[in-house]
Amino acid sequence: MTRYGLSLLLLLLSSCVLAEVAVEGRIKFQHIENNELSDTNLSTNFARLLLKADLPLSNNSLFYLETIAAYDSSFAQGKYSFEHNEFDLHQGYLSVTSPNHAIKLGRQVWSVADQRLLGKREGTNVRRRFDGVMYQNNVLNQLQINAYHGYAVASKTGVFDDKYLSSERITGVYFSTAELLLHSMWYRDTTAENNESRHTIEAQYRKKLGRFSSTFHVAHQTGIVKSEHTKAWFAQFSGLYSFANLKFGPTLSYATGGEAGHEDGYFRSLYAKAPYYSEAGIFSTTNIKHIGAKLQAQLTDKFDISLDMRRLFRVNEQGDIFGPGRSLFIANEQLKGAKIADTYSLTTQYLYTKKISFELITSYINMSNRANLEKDQSFFVEAMLHFAY
């Protein structure tokens, strides 16, 4: 943000009445002991503080402002980090609404329905932002249409110096109802070193029959990377059966993966695709299939807990598999169908009041490492506090 833009922002804020302020605090600890999963064994601490404010301009318009201060302990070595940012403006956009329409214009974080945010990787400390426009239209209170277009923002560690990237743009549209989501996204990076264009279409269907609820999710991606054609697809099923205050059921997924130019490509982590193995960001959808189970329990009106257990397998003999943090994991055993890891994620949520809530997420990965006797476990703990007034 330039000094001129900052002056305009301060002038705008001084003329508005503050309506609501929300604070999000986050602390995360990541410990990896595996030379295949990371360049070196490491322990990393992350922290993030977001200050959010709604500034009404009229009865149907407001300016949303969000600042960020994010810390990454590995940044002390002087290397660039997606996880680190000194105090900075994170989001700032104008929102105008009517009974059936809404539009957001400015710097913003985007998500697709109830899926995870669009971003470079899973579970980032500093989330991906875009300078652009998001339009929403509610049709008959049953169908919602959303369209977005914008340019990626280059995050820098200085204050108010983030600029948009004219060479990296994204366009998308999705239709959603209570049961169905249809989404189409087009991503382009025209820089000479990347020369990348990808298109993704996906569908998600939810169905509830008595005590049993299920979700089906499929996605297909085609693209060109440095003149090489690539394609990939993904499918997932999850089901939950309810009894008393418990829900229990299976999860299954299958995703192709490979390198550009091969018959199968890979999903760019920019896209809002499933599965998200946990908020701690264990694995993204690349050359992985899994079988697992999920348990959810509503212990009280304010406290609930969930456990997600999965066994991951390799789909293709070759191809990248992206793991937690900055690391890129290539399994020691390159056999098709070989076991990669067992993953466990325990999530607890406590709603203290309607405006104060707390989340605690613990994730554990046990890698399949038969080639040597080195330690091959990874451990994540993440806590978040949400506060609004």
CA 291 – CA 349 distance, rounded (Å): 25
Ranges of each domain in the chain: 22-85+196-388
pLDDT at residue number 337: 82
Q: Select the more confidently predicted residue: 17 or 49.
A: 49
pLDDT at residue number 144: 93
CA 138 – CA 8 distance, rounded (Å): 32
Burial tier of 134 (Cβ tally within 10 Å: 0-12, 13-18, 19+): buried
Is 22-85+196-388 a domain of CATH 2.40.160?
Answer: yes
Q: How confident is the model at residue 334 (pLDDT cuts 50, 70, 90)?
A: low
CA 209 – CA 88 distance, rounded (Å): 47
Q: Select the more confidently predicted residue: 106 or 287.
A: 106
When pLDDT is averaged across residues 45-61 and rounded to a whole number, the result is: 91
pLDDT at residue number 261: 44
Cβ atoms within 10 Å, residue 144: 18
Full-model pTM: 0.84
Highest mean pLDDT among 48-52, 155-159, 285-289: 48-52
CA 170 – CA 147 distance, rounded (Å): 11
pLDDT at residue number 278: 42
Strand 377-388 relative to strand 20-33, pairing: antiparallel
137 and 100 in contact (C-beta within 8 Å)?
yes
pLDDT at residue 135 tops 90: yes
